[in-house]
Amino acid sequence: DAGVTQSPTHLIKTRGQHVTLRCSPISGHKSVSWYQQVLGQGPQFIFQYYEKEERGRGNFPDRFSARQFPNYSSELNVNALLLGDSALYLCASSLSSTGGRTDTQYFGPGTRLTVL
């Protein structure tokens, strides 16, 4: 089975633009989470979606939004890009969202976003 896939792999935008990042979870996984990793730091939680509903939101501004589709794939949208949004954006999938063993999260390869 394929792992978590993300697109695009790399993206260059300018300040003020909008960006959409995409993620497809492992087959059978119903939960998708998004993380932002700035260079030299650990990933920071942005959103979690389970069965198309938002289950958690990290400390990020309203410029960040996400949604999950009926096939469990997900999009992360960022409006009015700032230089500080330059980062590796990681998507993770898991079977459920209860915090137990079935919530082991598996990460995709990430999308590297550069804002100029």
Partner 1 sequence: GIQVEQSPPDLILQEGANSTLRCNFSDSVNNLQWFHQNPWGQLINLFYIPSGTKQNGRLSATTVATERYSLLYISSSQTTDSGVYFCAVVTSGSRLTFGEGTQLTVNP
Contacting positions for partner 1 (CB under 8 A):
31, 33, 35, 37, 41-45, 48, 55-56, 58, 88, 90, 92, 94, 96-101, 103-107, 109-110, 112
Distance CA 13, CA 11 (A): 7
Nearer to partner 1, 15 or 99 (CB): 99
> What is the closest distance, in whole angstroms, from the C-beta atom of residue 35 to partner 1 in the complex?
7
Distance CA 13, CA 18 (A): 8
Burial class (CB in 10 A: 0-12, 13-18, 19+), 58: middle
10-13 and 111-115: which strand pairing?
Answer: parallel
Nearer to partner 1, 86 or 105 (CB): 105
Nearer to partner 1, 18 or 56 (CB): 56
> What is the closest distance, in whole angstroms, from the C-beta atom of residue 116 to partner 1 in the complex?
20
Q: Which residue has the tokens 């509903």?
A: 53
Nearer to partner 1, 28 or 99 (CB): 99
